[in-house]
Amino acid sequence: TPTFTRPGESSAEAGFARDMTAHHAQAVAMGLLAFRQGQDPEVRQIGGDIATGQQGEIGTMQTWLRSWKLDPTGDEPPMAWMSDGPGLVKNGLMPGMATPEEMAKLRGATGREFDVLFLQMMIRHHVGGVHMIDGILDQGHDDDVLKVA
């Protein structure tokens, strides 16, 4: 059975891989904006590093799901795999994720305003993802997933 040989559809590992993929996708989008629009060279560098690093991790997580014979998206709502997860989702967004309005504001910002806004949003974004990391470290059983977390 999947629970003995690989994570199953409703496992913490599957939920983590799916949710962290969505969380990372927004960080990639924000990182690419910083790479293109940042004024400060360090902001551009960190934006590129975030975009490439987290895109690579998305590939890893999607590979896990394929190897477990699971769809890249599941039927569960975001963070349903965590006991306190559903209560942390606000307006459909996982902790730390920017709203569409915030993303539009970031896209429209320039110069120092862009740099500061990007850094503030990225700090909040990554602090929000830490809760999922803690959740999989507490609930997960797959060695590869735990190592990446």
Identify the residue whose tokens are 């199953």: 8
CA 19 to mean position of chain CA atoms: 7
CATH topology for 8-73+88-148 is Ferritin (1.20.1260)
Which pTM does this prediction carry? 0.92
- pLDDT, tens digit, 9 for 90 and up, residues 59-92: 999 999 999 999 999 999 999 999 999 999 999 9
- pLDDT, tens digit, 9 for 90 and up, residues 103-133: 999 999 999 999 999 999 999 999 999 999 9
CB proximity list for 20: less than 8 A, separation 6 or greater: 57, 61, 129, 132
End-to-end distance of the chain based on CA atoms, in angstroms?
A: 25
Longest dimension (CA), the chain: 55
Domain spans in the chain, listed from the N-terminal domain onward? 8-73+88-148
